[in-house]
Structure 1
Amino acid sequence: YGGFGSNVDMKSGAPSFGTPEHIQMSIGSGQLARHIGLPWRSAAGAAANTNDMQATHETVMSLWGCLQANATMVIHAAGWLEGGLTFGFEKFIQDIEALQAIAHLCKPVAADAAAIGLDAIEQVAPGGHFFETDQTLNNYSTAFLEPINADLSNFGTWQKNGALTAEARATAKWQAILHDFTAPPGAQERVGRVEAMIARFTQAGGAPILE
């Protein structure tokens, strides 16, 4: 079954996301799904109006709610702003990074001899380091998740490379994606139909007002 719940801002009536109540509702919905034996579609979200600290907090917290609730499918997980009324390109990049981190976290942790690395411990004397051990050299490029937008360098290196914020890096990434994008066959015809539909609905002035 599909559905998710959240509380609202009692000052405006606007939906809220990433709140403790949102997470509690996700966990309760997951318990209901397991009780009745059905797969369950949930959702993340953000009430923030721009890609800022609030937006990141709300999306990550709501994703954790879905994860704790064992959702079968999570939609609205990337790019959401203003409670789903608007979409942010920078927000999309940031959210994809959050999703990748959660997916990596859910992978089983290796526990074989190569992962435990007793041979590496034997190679390093007290007071030494592990950067030059065989285990490190064999696994350094794949051992950790490579971020798509985060800058893990120290302050000096970050400043030398232009002191780009996460927002600026995300902007450069989505612009590069669109610049290099090649539309699949038939895309232009579908875009034309969508544009005509948007124009028709815009001219109609939206949904009729119920009196």
Structure 2
Amino acid sequence: MSVFSDDEIENSHAEVLAAITLNQLVRPGAPICYGTFTSNVGMKSGAPALGTPTHFQASLAAGQLARFIGLPWRSAAGSASNLNDVQAANENQMGLWGCLMAGASVIIHSAGWLESGLTISYEKLITDVEVLNMIAELCAGNNASVDEIGFEAAISEVNPSGHFFSTSHTMARYDTAFYEPVVHDYANFGTWTERGASDVNTRATAIWKGILAADNRPDIDEAKVEALHPFIDIRTADGGALPES
């Protein structure tokens, strides 16, 4: 790890310990999570650079420090890209895997971030959720029971030079056995072209617009929402950032 990154880790750890101390002085015994999100900046621009090898290394170090003091750890992914492109995907996954390998308890900013958090992309939100779903599927593991292996229901049915597509075992599981993508397209080039050759951003746009059009919001207790408004007004009068209009 570079000297620059070491300095950042030391500063970050000191800030976390100070915040934890202040929290416990105000409310002793309050549950708390070690929260840090450290990366480097682009040395040519001074802009934050997320999803870099240094970001990955910093996550590994922060995870070790969190475990050293026995606390759960909150970290984050993110991207410095300006578009939902290959750079954005690579950087977000680099940051995400750094958090996972470091044992993060909670990972925020793992979907939608561009420009190191200055911009949110609905398309990137959709494509990042795809990756999160795939990682969740990976971490869930696989079932290797007798039924899943399917020797009697599959292997014994297939003669030499045969295939498994039409076995009863396959037919009973073909629509549930594998991960079903949200926005990725697994069709070959010919089929993809016949369908209009839409790229992932085009497909992601259609998905988020469909979500907004469907407007399937969770049930909300309007009385509780109304009760929050006086509290918001008081805190707004106290100062700080104004709420969005």
Post-superposition CA distance 1:61-103 (Å, at most 9, x none)? 1111111111100001111010001100101000100100110
Counterparts of 1:100 and 1:182, CA distance in 2: 20
How far does residue 188 in structure 1 lie from its aligned partner after superposition? 9.4
Identity %: 52
| TM-score, length basis structure 2 | 0.75
RMSD: 2.1
**Secondary structure at the residue paired with 1:42?**
strand
**Runs (5+) with no aligned partner, structure 2:** 1-33, 237-241
Q: Mark the CA change 1:182 to 1:126 in structure 2 (over 3 Å): closer, same or farther.
A: closer
Q: Which has the larger radius of gyration?
A: 2
**Runs (5+) with no aligned partner, structure 1:** 200-211
- Kindly report which structure 2 residues correspond to 1:56-205, keeping only aligned pairs within 5 A, or say none: 56-119=89-152, 120-183=154-217, 184-185=219-220, 186=222, 197-198=243-244
Tell me how many residue pairs correspond in the alignment.
Answer: 197
Counterparts of 2:36 and 2:131, CA distance in 1: 22
| Greater mean alpha carbon deviation, residues 95-104 or residues 114-123 | 114-123
Choose between structure 1 and 2 for higher RCO, CA contacts under 8 A separated by at least 6 residues.
Answer: 1
Counterparts of 1:188 and 1:65, CA distance in 2: 38
1:209 is aligned to none
Question: Match of 1:150, as an amino acid?
Answer: H
| Greater mean alpha carbon deviation, residues 114-123 or residues 63-72 | 114-123
| TM-score, length basis structure 1 | 0.87
TM superposition outliers: structure 1 runs of 4+ over 3 Å:
182-191
How far does residue 127 in structure 1 lie from its aligned partner after superposition? 0.7
Post-superposition CA distance 1:172-196 (Å, at most 9, x none)? 01111111114554499789x89x7
**Secondary structure at the residue paired with 2:75?**
strand
How far does residue 111 in structure 1 lie from its aligned partner after superposition? 1.4
Counterparts of 1:115 and 1:69, CA distance in 2: 32
